């Protein structure tokens, strides 16, 4: 890391970095200083967008209106049953097709209790090692030690993956950290980093573009910092996957946009970047990884992925809404029909689990929650006096009287293998998504026979 950047951090100059992306495009945001919640409390930190983040159109339609929800990652040391609940509405711009949230929470409120750390996500460290190996052949710089900047570097997991391969890697993130400029990404942050270390050969942005309300300011920062022969690698949740794969737990207040390939091509083109490679990854249920460079109008070189990345129709959006409502009813019906299961455990303590807890109407039906992440142990879930325990707490109750509602459903294979003993003792694991599945000892045995691997669906 350059001494100039270290000096900026040490001397507090980073306070110049704009940490409130939500305040960009002020002329296009209507301040809602007195939005009323369902409990007659006023929320001073919420704004409602009146225009599309990408194309500025005022025409949109509602895709899914979820129940008012606390900030999803607000897991706290003491219970906060009366914490504010914010509206959560997914809309689609009818002009450009971008899926996006209508509501924007002020960043200081949204990230005030931010606990997520990249290295705690199951399999993500190994994923980033593969990520670095896959993008290295695309880089064309002649530098012996290329300079990488990671936007939203969090705990530095990706920085370390680059550093292990000999790269000079620095980050920018509101939580700060080693080799990291503390603050949110913006054109101002970009200029600070360019002044300290020069332009970057590689800029990475993994699941952070979706968090920016001012996407054009975000991209201007990228264009300023990227070297003339550099590459920008952006991985972001796929809007088409969100609908087709029923990724309801990917909808929460941090994620403001859900891009398709066409929307990314338009966005990059408006800021002088062209897409040179686009691939689909399975990370977080379905992401797009885009590699772009300077020049052109954004047309670039695209694979057959362009044909697959189709915006959902109104009919498919209606099915998306209906599936969630049907799942909610099915879960409720199963619990009513099995009164002998008096212990209702929830499995998962993530931001997405908060969305599902409210969307499925499980707010008062689960106690306690279980998770395998030590950093969540003993915390209270957002908006309820319910604690998180390590998953071995499951064995402190009679299995035949217990049901686990598996809200961390994308980790079902690992969790089922870990708790085979619970199933064999008479326990049931109820998995609501992607379709309601009831796991018992018998069904798990059939699963192993069919696949030969307990961790393979």
Examine residue 331 and state whether it is found in any structural domain, yes or no.
yes
Is the pLDDT at 31 greater than 50, yes or no? no
Could you give the 3-state DSSP secondary structure of residue 171? strand
Distance in angstroms (rounded) separating the CA atoms of residues 395 and 399:
7
Domain boundary among 255, 281, 312: 312
Examine residue 107 and state whether it is found in any structural domain, yes or no.
yes
Residue 231, domain CATH: 3.40.50.150
Domain match, 292 and 352 both: no
Domain match, 447 and 328 both: yes
Domain boundary among 289, 312, 335: 312
Domain boundary among 268, 288, 312: 312
Domain match, 250 and 178 both: yes
Is the pLDDT at 166 greater than 80, yes or no? yes
Domain match, 326 and 287 both: no
Q: State pLDDT tens for residues 369-409.
A: 999 999 999 999 999 999 999 999 999 999 999 999 999 99
The reported pTM is 0.85
Say how many domains are in the chain.
2
Nearest to 418 by CA among 407, 429, 426: 429
Distance in angstroms (rounded) separating the CA atoms of residues 48 and 330:
33
For 431, residues 6+ apart whose C-beta sits below 8 A from its C-beta are: 406, 409, 412, 437, 438, 439
Distance in angstroms (rounded) separating the CA atoms of residues 4 and 193:
9
Examine residue 200 and state whether it is found in any structural domain, yes or no.
yes
Domain match, 300 and 348 both: no
Task: Answer for the pair 205, 233: CB distance below 8 angstroms, yes or no.
Answer: yes
The better pLDDT of the pair 242, 141 is held by: 242
- Determine what percent of the chain is predicted with pLDDT higher than 70: 82
Mean residue pLDDT of the chain comes to 85
Examine residue 456 and state whether it is found in any structural domain, yes or no.
no
Domain match, 186 and 256 both: yes
Q: What is the pLDDT of residue 22?
A: 25
Q: What is the mean pLDDT of residues 30-39?
A: 30
Residue 319, domain CATH: 3.40.50.720
* Three state DSSP letters for 419-432: CHHHHHCCCEEEEC
Domain match, 126 and 253 both: yes
Examine residue 362 and state whether it is found in any structural domain, yes or no.
yes
Q: State pLDDT tens for residues 263-296.
A: 999 999 999 999 988 888 887 788 999 999 998 5
Domain with 39, as residue range(s), is 1-312
Q: What is the pLDDT of residue 7?
A: 35
Domain match, 94 and 225 both: yes
Is the pLDDT at 38 greater than 60, yes or no? no
Q: What is the mean pLDDT of residues 118-130?
A: 73
Could you give the 3-state DSSP secondary structure of residue 299? coil
Examine residue 308 and state whether it is found in any structural domain, yes or no.
yes
Distance in angstroms (rounded) separating the CA atoms of residues 420 and 376:
23
Domain match, 105 and 197 both: yes
Q: State pLDDT tens for residues 66-119.
A: 999 999 999 999 999 999 999 999 999 999 999 999 999 998 888 877 766 766
According to the per-residue pLDDT averaged within each range, which of 125-139, 251-265, 290-304 is highest?
A: 251-265
Domain match, 375 and 340 both: yes
Is the pLDDT at 194 greater than 60, yes or no? yes
Domain match, 320 and 295 both: no
Examine residue 422 and state whether it is found in any structural domain, yes or no.
yes
Domain match, 260 and 284 both: yes
Distance in angstroms (rounded) separating the CA atoms of residues 200 and 186:
15
Examine residue 389 and state whether it is found in any structural domain, yes or no.
yes
Is the pLDDT at 427 greater than 60, yes or no? yes
């Amino acid at each position: 890391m350059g001494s100039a950047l270290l000096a900026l951090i040490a001397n507090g100059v980073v306070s110049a970095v704009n940490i409130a992306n939500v305040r960009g495009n002020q002329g296009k945001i209507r301040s809602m200083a007195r939005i009323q919640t369902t409990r007659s409390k006023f929320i001073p930190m919420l704004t409602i967008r009146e225009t599309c983040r990408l194309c500025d159109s005022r025409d949109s339609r509602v895709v899914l209106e979820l129940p008012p929800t606390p900030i999803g990652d607000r897991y706290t040391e003491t219970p906060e049953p009366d914490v504010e609940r914010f509206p959560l509405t997914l809309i689609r711009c009818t002009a450009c097709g971008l899926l996006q949230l209508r509501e924007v929470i002020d960043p200081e409120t949204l990230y005030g209790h931010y606990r997520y750390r990249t290295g705690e996500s199951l399999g993500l460290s190994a994923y980033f090692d593969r990520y670095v190996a896959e993008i290295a052949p695309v880089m064309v710089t002649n530098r012996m030690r290329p300079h990488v900047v990671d936007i939203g570097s969090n705990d530095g997991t990706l920085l370390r993956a680059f550093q292990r391969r000999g790269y000079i890697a620095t980050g920018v993130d509101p939580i700060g950290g080693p080799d990291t400029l503390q603050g949110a990404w913006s054109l101002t942050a970009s200029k600070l980093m360019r002044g300290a270390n020069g332009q970057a050969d590689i800029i990475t942005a993994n699941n952070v573009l979706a968090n920016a309300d001012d996407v054009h300011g975000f991209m201007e920062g990228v264009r300023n910092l990227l070297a003339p022969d550099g590459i920008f690698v952006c991985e972001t949740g796929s809007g088409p996957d969100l609908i087709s794969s029923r990724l309801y737990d990917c909808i929460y207040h941090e994620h403001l946009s859900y891009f398709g390939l066409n929307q990314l091509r338009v966005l990059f083109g408006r800021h002088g970047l062209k897409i040179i490679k686009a691939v689909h990854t399975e990370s977080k249920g379905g992401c797009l990884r885009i590699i772009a460079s300077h020049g052109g109008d954004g047309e670039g070189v695209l694979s057959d992925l362009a044909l697959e990345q189709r915006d959902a129709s109104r009919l498919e959006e209606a099915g998306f809404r209906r599936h969630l409502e049907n799942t909610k009813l099915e879960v409720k019906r199963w619990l009513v029909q099995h009164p002998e299961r008096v212990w209702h455990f929830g499995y998962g303590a993530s931001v997405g689990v908060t969305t599902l807890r409210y969307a499925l109407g499980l707010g008062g039906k689960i106690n306690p929650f279980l998770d395998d992440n030590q950093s969540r142990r003993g915390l209270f879930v957002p908006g309820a006096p319910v604690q998180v325990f390590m998953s071995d707490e499951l064995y402190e109750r009679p299995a035949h009287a217990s049901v686990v509602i598996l809200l961390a459903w994308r980790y079902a294979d690992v969790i089922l293998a870990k708790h085979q003993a619970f199933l064999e003792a008479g326990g049931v694991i109820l998995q609501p998504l992607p379709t309601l599945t009831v796991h018992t000892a018998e069904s798990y045995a059939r699963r192993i026979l069919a696949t030969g691997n307990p961790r393979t669906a």
